[in-house]
């Protein structure tokens, strides 16, 4: 029986990925070059490597003597857009329904704890989650399963009793490697990724109420 709901953060709870890409793209375009989405998408949801966006910019446009000012300008624009970002559709309903039915709630994110908890606190959501795991808590981020296994253990649950809500290939891979059910909700930044591993694919959480989603997963479990 599924009694645990674990959310990815960036791109699932709020759209932090589009503002980050858009503000970096503005800096690239100002220098006459482009930040291709196919390149950017490699870092969404974690990834096993690191992508130096500013380094990539200098590869395309040449050395930037005012690099620190450029990076600070991008950060300010990004923060401003994030602060204005609402919860994504369906998130509040899923959290409220999960709490009503006494489900365990968690967050598994490849971002920093300061980032995740800060934005949850601003939206009065921090206290709703019994366990939060971030890149600060594990040796390996997504697609490694460690983040999900850490949250499941912290909630006192089991992987087979938990469903992950994800928006990226790396995230879905991490959840499935950990043994969780997984619902993929792609966004503008991730919709071209491979989501074949996901148990359910949705355009938005608002398209399917939580009770209906759990019923679909329960039916799938009978055929396993």
Q: What distance in Å separates the CA atoms of residue 163 and residue 206, rounded to the nearest whole number?
A: 17
Q: Which of 3, 10, 15, 211 is catalytic?
A: 10
- The alpha carbon of 193 is separated from its chain's Cα centroid by a whole number of angstroms, namely 14
- Tell me whether residue 8 is one of the annotated catalytic residues: yes
* Residue-by-residue DSSP string for 34-69: ---HHHHGGGTT--SS---HHHHHHHHH---TTHHH
Radius of gyration for the alpha carbons in the chain, expressed in angstroms and rounded: 18
Residues in the chain: 224
Q: Which of 3, 8, 124, 207 is catalytic?
A: 8
- Tell me whether residue 10 is one of the annotated catalytic residues: yes
CB 33 within 8 Å of CB 57: yes
Active site positions, annotated: 8, 10
């Amino acid at each position: 029986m599924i009694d645990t709901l674990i959310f990815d953060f960036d791109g699932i709870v709020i759209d932090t990925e589009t503002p980050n890409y858009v503000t970096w793209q503005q800096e690239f375009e100002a220098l006459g070059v482009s930040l291709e989405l196919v390149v950017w998408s490699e870092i969404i949801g974690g990834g096993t490597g690191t992508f130096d966006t500013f380094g990539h910019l200098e590869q395309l446009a040449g050395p930037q003597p005012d690099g620190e000012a450029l990076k600070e300008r991008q950060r300010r624009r990004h923060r401003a857009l994030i602060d204005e970002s609402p919860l994504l559709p369906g998130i509040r309903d899923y959290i409220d329904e999960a709490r009503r039915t006494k489900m365990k709630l968690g967050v598994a994110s490849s971002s920093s704890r300061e980032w995740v908890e800060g934005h949850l606190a601003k939206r009065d959501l921090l206290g709703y989650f019994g366990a939060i795991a971030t890149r600060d808590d594990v040796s390996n981020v997504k697609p490694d399963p460690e983040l999900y296994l850490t949250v499941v253990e912290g909630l006192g649950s089991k992987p087979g009793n938990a469903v992950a809500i994800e928006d990226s290939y790396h995230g879905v891979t991490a959840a499935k490697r950990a043994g969780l059910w997984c619902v993929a909700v792609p966004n503008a930044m991730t919709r071209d990724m491979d989501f074949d591993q996901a148990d359910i694919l949705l355009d938005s959480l608002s398209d399917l109420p939580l009770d209906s989603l759990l019923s679909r997963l329960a039916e799938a479990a009978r055929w396993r």
